[in-house]
Amino acid sequence: MTKYIVQGGKPLFGEVEISGAKNAAVAIIPAALLVDGVCRIENIPQISDVTLCLRILEELGANIRPVNRHTVEIDCRHIHSTRTSYELARRIRASYYLIGALLGRFGQAEVAMPGGCNFGVRPIDQHVKGFATLGAKVVVEGGFIRASAEGRRLRGANIYLDVVSVGATMNIMMAAVMAEGNTVIENAAKEPHIVDLANFLNSMGANIRGAGTDTIKIRGVDSLSGGSYAIIPDQIEAGTYMAAVAATGGQVLVKNIIPKHMDCITAKLQECGVEVEEHEDTLLVRRTGKLRRANVKTLPYPGFPTDMQPQITAVLCLAEGTSLVTESVWSNRYQYVDELKRMGANIQVDDKTAVVEGVDHLTGAPIQACDLRAGAAMVIAALAAQGCSEISRVQYIERGYEDIVDKLRALGADIRSVEEPEETDELKAQIS
């Protein structure tokens, strides 16, 4: 069991290099299944969700060759199975992309119901609706989603999404890329990783237009061949370091980013009194004065990302005045608030809204990461707090943040990772 020990109260100074985008990588790796050739993928983040995706592909028969720490070659010419193991697929949300990819290439897929962070109901009805409209039969049996095309190839169709869903947009894109005829996805999500997946597939020979707008048009092609592709930088990882500087004060150059992707986060931090200077592929983030209150509402891109909601809430805990945070993407993404309260935060949650009364300071405490982004918020709060915090369940954080401890230490943070023995069953019984 790994824990982070954080001695808070130190401003951050220096430079941080942002890794490849997690939510692009966990889609692009399964999308390699569509390619009848070798895909070289660069700028892959070293995080546990990516390791799991690669292991799942390997189990299906892909040949995975690491080239260096951030580059792999994936060869899916000899896939021998279209059924994922329950054990691996259920541990990661993005395993649902295996359905679209396997269905698109082989006309069939059997994938364990996806797992991932738990923040309320996470339906996949829009994915299923998309597959069915393309001519697939989809059933859920024994913990698995089984999808099969009538005949071997899906048929292009018009699909209108009832909710703007990142996952459904990308999954339908994968299923449709080699379908017979044309597909149009309307009310599509517009996140940067959707454009990234489309660019990856196009570079392998697909014909996708309109990614990044709400209408995506796909002309089915017969096959995809290999090539080389570099994943975009992680918008949320960059935003998390920006929020950390906002909370602790200091000055950090956030490197290897696409500033346009950061606009929604940059604007909100500026409203809070943080200075952000934009350069070609870097942002200089500085906070010297007091933090100001702000209202935040999460929305699909280009709105403020739900995956930054816990981190900005941690910042607003220390801002002067009352801030309102409204979560409008997920139904239950405030489980971490009780942990912030242990540190002295003053937050009241009413359904989708958190009312955050700024406090003068937070104090270090034993806290836990309830999920990936909540975990990032705990790190931010602990870095800004007076005294020592002990963050447990950090395996959630390591699902999505490459080398977070080393990157923060390089900025002058006093954070270290320690291994502790697992609680024995006997001890757990005594506690409960």
Residue 26 or 365 having the CB closest to ligand EPU: 26
Q: Which residues bind ligand EPU (CB under 6 A)?
A: 23, 26, 93-94, 117, 121-127, 163, 165-168, 189, 306-307, 329-330, 372-373, 400
Q: Which CB sits closer to ligand EPU, 60 or 372?
A: 372
Tokens of 269: 């931090």
DSSP annotation of 291 reads P
Q: Is cis: bond before 11, omega within 30 of 0?
A: no
Sign of the Cα torsion 68, 71, 75, 80 reads positive
Rounded distance, CA 432 to CA 430, Å? 6
Q: Whose Cβ is closer to ligand EPU: residue 13's or residue 330's?
A: 330
Closest listed residue to residue 221, CA positions, set 186, 174, 163, 266: 174
**How much is the CA Rg of the chain, to the nearest whole Å?**
22
In this structure, the strands spanning 71-75 and 108-112 are unpaired
Active site residue 388: no
**DSSP code of 226?**
-
Which is closer to ligand EPU, CB of 168 or CB of 208?
A: 168
CB of 350 to ligand EPU, least distance (A): 19
Q: Which two tokens stand for residue 291?
A: 């933090």
The nearer residue to ligand EPU, 194 or 319, going by C-beta atoms, is 194
**Catalytic option among 53, 76, 117, 272:** 117
CB of 305 to ligand EPU, least distance (A): 6
Residue 400 to residues 26, 168, 273, 337: CA-CA distances in angstroms?
10, 21, 28, 20
3-class SS of residue 428: helix
Minimum Å gap between C-beta 379 and ligand EPU is 14
Do residues 393 and 375 make contact, with C-beta atoms less than 8 angstroms apart?
Answer: yes
Q: Which residues contact 148 (CB under 8 A, 6 or more apart)?
A: 103, 107, 108, 109, 136, 137
* Gap between the Cα atoms of 301 and 195, Å rounded: 12
Contacts of 344 (CB under 8 A, 6+ apart): 359, 361, 362, 363
Instruction: State the minimum distance, in angstroms, from the CB of residue 376 to ligand EPU.
Output: 9
Question: The dihedral of CA 387, 347, 396, 408: what is its sign?
Answer: negative
Return the residue nearest ligand EPU (CB atom). Answer: 167
Report, in Å, the least distance between residue 415 CB and ligand EPU: 21
Closer Cβ to ligand EPU, 178 or 372, answer by number: 372
The nearest distance, CB 63 to ligand EPU, in angstroms, is 25
Residues acting as catalytic residues: 117
